[in-house]
Structure 1
């Protein structure tokens, strides 16, 4: 069974973006050391446009072959004219407002995103599923999340989008790994306790 990994950036106080969803306050911390780690260990989490800009568009997937993201996260790409933000992955967008996909490479899931994720997890394959973002979507999928990779940036936002944006039962996770970077970014990997 494949696993669903919520690979997420957040502030010290647990917000994944400001009240408008902008993660811009985290960008100053994406330095050479941290970027080298991302490209070596999680290259598929870098959007296609970023991969091209960094000259790493030819990197093979290491961890994921599928991405699931919420409508608001997808909208960030649409706002800059990008209809297929993760062209190197199979792309699913949870949306009740998009009637049809603006790109044939992006599948819109209007209802039962939990069922869709369960189907994806049941597929055979060596790669996992990247839950890219969306506070609300993460809250809806919390019971399906097998792993958390939390990139905590040394900044306090005070308010904004929480990591999990909807009510759910308490889920226990076990810390597997922790890494501190010179710029103060802390990356923790947790596995769900079953």
Structure 2
């Protein structure tokens, strides 16, 4: 059975939009494109390499596919990430019958969630999401993400497309591994851990003041 892994660059306030360049995705007036650039050093680069050390196929939304298709086929042939990205199969969430010109790319069709549910039942490498914030919201709504591998950068961006956006369904997560780097970047991997569990630190017998406080919230 195949897993879906969201491997994502994210700010401390959850923004994942346009981490690479100012021209990557300025939609919505986003003006901080390229916000990861000054945090990359040897250690952070090695962490990025860890994301790709196991066999994978790419799972991309249409906008991220277009960004990648305009870059990676034309990158330095000695770039190890370019070698990987140009070799793997790319599954693309795209509306309509639009030609995918990057070789080895396949449309997921009209019902993305159903197509991925079937893909997960088969044999093959992990399906690795890069970027693709809109696609991630669809996957969150359908509970299809099996792992989050996050590179968390020490800055806040205020506005922008978020990892946990409109598709988020309440759920608990379990931290399976983590690592920090001199740049302040943290690499953390989380797995789903069931429903959110609640409890209470309140006194067994609330005070009259607490009762009045609660009543005032109605």
Of the three residues 25, 39, 46, the one matched with 1:36 is 46
- Deviation string 1:119-139 (CA, Å, 9 cap, x unpaired) is 2211124x3110112111001
CA contact (8 A) 2:3 2:126 kept: yes
Q: Which runs of 5+ in 1 are unaligned?
A: 44-61
- Higher-strand-fraction structure: 1
What corresponds to 2:93 in structure 1?
Answer: 94
The offset of 1:29, in angstroms, is: 1.3
Q: How many positions carry a matched residue from both structures? A: 174
What corresponds to 1:137 in structure 2?
Answer: 135
* Stretch of structure 1 that moved more, 105-114 or 131-140: 105-114
Normalised by the length of structure 1, the TM-score is 0.79
What corresponds to 2:66 in structure 1?
Answer: 75
CA contact (8 A) 1:5 1:130 kept: yes
In structure 2, distance between residues paired with 1:88 and 1:109: 19
Residues 24/185 of structure 1: CA separation in 2 closer, same or farther (3 Å cut): same
In structure 1, distance between residues paired with 2:133 and 2:105: 20
Normalised by the length of structure 2, the TM-score is 0.71
What corresponds to 2:105 in structure 1?
Answer: 106
In structure 2, distance between residues paired with 1:107 and 1:98: 11
Residues 168/158 of structure 1: CA separation in 2 closer, same or farther (3 Å cut): closer
- Deviation string 1:138-184 (CA, Å, 9 cap, x unpaired) is 01012100111111111111111111343342122111112111100
Say yes or no: does 1:20 pair with 2:26. yes
What corresponds to 2:5 in structure 1?
Answer: 5
* Stretch of structure 1 that moved more, 83-92 or 4-13: 83-92
In structure 2, distance between residues paired with 1:108 and 1:139: 18
The offset of 1:37, in angstroms, is: 2.8
What corresponds to 1:48 in structure 2?
Answer: none
Residues 115/77 of structure 1: CA separation in 2 closer, same or farther (3 Å cut): same
In structure 2, distance between residues paired with 1:182 and 1:123: 40
CA contact (8 A) 1:13 1:156 kept: yes
- Give the root-mean-square deviation of aligned CA atoms: 2.4
The offset of 1:74, in angstroms, is: 1.4
